[in-house]
Amino acid sequence: MNQFFEAAARLGLIPPYLFKTIDEKKAEVKDRGVDIIDLGVGDPDLPTPLFIVKKMEEAIHDSETHRYPAYSGMNLFREAVARWYQGRFGVDLDPESEVLTLIGSKEGIAHLPLGINNPEDINLMTSPGYPVYQMGTLFAGAYCHFLPLTRENRFLPDLHAISPLVARDAKAFFFNYPNNPTAAVADKEFFARVVDFCREHQIVAVHDAAYTELAFDGFKPPSFLETPGAKEIGIEFHSLSKTYNMTGWRLGMAVGNREILSALGKIKSNIDSGVFNAIQIAGIAALDSDQSCVRENCAILQERRDLLVGGLKHLGYDVELPKATFYVWLATPPGFTSMGFTTHLLEAAGIVTIPGNGLGTPGEGYVRLALTVPKERMEEALARLARLG
């Protein structure tokens, strides 16, 4: 049979799908009748708060919500985002020009390089990290320069280690705190260094803030936009997915510099038709609520965190207590690679984790565990680990 189709060359830029191996092994173990405990998936198992669901139910019965939405989002939703940012971070935003509605923050992050990069530009990005920073950059024809996150540097990138030539040619810097996968947090002093660095080298700062609301022990992660000068050189992506357990709803926002948002908006208006208005109305209810649902969510996650990390420490594992996110960044025991330990846990204990090197080469020597299973399943996972020795 003649080959009549050849995929676009850009698809060849996608790195090998390491997680395919995990999926195959997971299926094999499951077929053997093993009860799988999945600590790999970064998807909340807790339900969307009922008041948000009810607001959605009301909205879908209004035929006006069934029409095409505005490309940049409903004015009322963008105003709610601005109110939320003011109340949560003390950041003033113009809803008209400094807030853009997204079909979840992932699509906005993926599309941004199409609006800011020319072919062969360089984008800086932390590694290990969310793969979409890399994919969006490659699909736009630009190059990736990875900044390693190491334990020695508290999983913050060393901006001084960037060569002057790379800094000169860089167009954007993608970073994410609280961080996926390391669960590291950044303070205002680090953000101030980022502003100074990006201003000096005329680099677009792109902060992914998806996990600021999943924090523990009274800690309140800051927004990058709280930093003086941040809005002059950058934008921030945020999402309702993790904050309100709305991952499947696909609703997020980009905020900050109006010129950068305008470039992203032009890409989006030619690619998608916006977010279903009923979902935006539900999002307004979430943002304008008293946030008690977020506090309750964090209390449950904190209890799981304490159980899992305490149990791991008791068993002799090298692990730190995360201050935010629903991830635990676990150092692999001596003699194990990231993939080797992931495979060992899956085959010997039926526990699914994510190998750190699958999220970037500097992640070698770690695995990521997610706090997205009930406490009883956490206890069972720890019991299995204890039996492994």
- pLDDT, tens digit, for every residue of 53-65? 999 999 999 999 9
Instruction: Output phi, psi for 157, to 5 deg.
Output: -70, 145
- pLDDT, tens digit, for every residue of 224-280? 999 999 999 999 999 999 999 999 999 999 999 999 999 999 999 999 999 999 999
Kindly list the domain boundaries of the chain, sorted by start residue. 16-42+292-388, 50-287
Distance CA 278, CA 327 (A): 31
What is the full DSSP assignment across 302-319?
HHHHHHHHHHHHHTT--B
Within its chain, how far is the Cα of 160 from the centroid? 25
Give alpha helix (H) positions in the chain: 18-31, 50-60, 75-89, 105-116, 131-139, 164-169, 188-201, 230-233, 258-269, 277-287, 292-314, 338-349, 375-388
Per-residue confidence (pLDDT) for residue 172, from 0 to 100 = 98
DSSP 36: -
Pairing of β 366-370 and β 354-355 = antiparallel
Per-residue confidence (pLDDT) for residue 1, from 0 to 100 = 52
Q: In the Cβ-directed half-sphere of 46, how many Cα atoms lie within 13 Å?
A: 22
pLDDT at 2 exceeding the cut of 70: no
pTM: 0.96
Q: Given its phi and psi angles, is residue 113 left (phi above 0), alpha (psi -120 to 50 degrees) or beta?
A: alpha
Query: How does residue 379 score in pLDDT terms, banded at 50, 70 and 90?
Result: very high
Average pLDDT over residues 287-296: 98
Distance CA 222, CA 178 (A): 9
DSSP 119: T
User: Three-state SS for 331?
Assistant: strand
Q: What CATH code would you report for 16-42+292-388?
A: 3.90.1150.10
Give alpha helix (H) positions in 154-275: 164-169, 188-201, 230-233, 258-269
Mean per-residue pLDDT of the chain: 96
- pLDDT, tens digit, for every residue of 35-55? 999 999 889 999 999 999 999
Percent of the chain with pLDDT strictly greater than 90: 94
Per-residue confidence (pLDDT) for residue 162, from 0 to 100 = 98
Least Cα distance to 352 among 34, 92, 107, 73 occurs for 34
**Domains 16-42+292-388 and 50-287 equal at CATH topology level:** no
Least Cα distance to 326 among 93, 118, 41, 69 occurs for 41
Please name the CATH architecture into which domain 50-287 falls: 3-Layer(aba) Sandwich (3.40)
- pLDDT, tens digit, for every residue of 17-37? 667 778 888 899 999 999 999
Average pLDDT over residues 107-134: 97
Instruction: Output phi, psi for 329, to 5 deg.
Output: -100, 105
